Amino acid sequence: MEPLSRITPATLDVLSALVGEPDRIWGLRIVGLTGRPAGSVYPILERLERAGWVDSVWEDDPARSGPRRRLYRLTADGAEAARATTARARAPQATFRPTAAGA
C-alpha cells in the first residue's frame, strides 16, 4: 500500500463512507453518503485503488436490472490507515497533516 500524497476533506469523506460500510459499496452510494459530486468521488476512488487502499470489482448480479455497478471496499491495510486518518482528522484541536507514511 502506498501513502497518499494528499488527503483533502473530500478524501476524508470518501474514507469515512468506506469505513462505515462492512460490505462492498457502489460508487453512487458513496456519492450519496458523502454529499460530494460524482466528479470528485470517482477520481478519489481511483486514486485510493491505485495506492492500494481500496479494491473494486464489477457487480455480478444477473437478477438486478440496470447497468452493472462497480463495488468498492477498503483493503485490510487501507481500512487500518483509513480509520487512523479519519480519527486524526476528527480529533479536537487537530491540525491535520499527513504523516510521512501518508496515513
- Distance, in Å, from the CA atom of 93 to the CA atom of 6, rounded to the nearest integer, reads 20
Residue-range domain boundaries for the chain: 9-90
In the prediction, which pLDDT does 75 show?
97
Q: Does 9-90 carry CATH code 3.90.45.10?
A: no
pLDDT digits 0-9 by tens, 27-80: 999 999 999 999 999 999 999 999 999 999 999 888 888 888 999 999 999 999
Flag whether pLDDT at 102 surpasses 60.
no
Which range (17-21, 43-47, 85-89, 95-99) has the least confidence? 95-99
Task: Residue 83: name the closest of 2, 4, 18 by CA.
Answer: 18
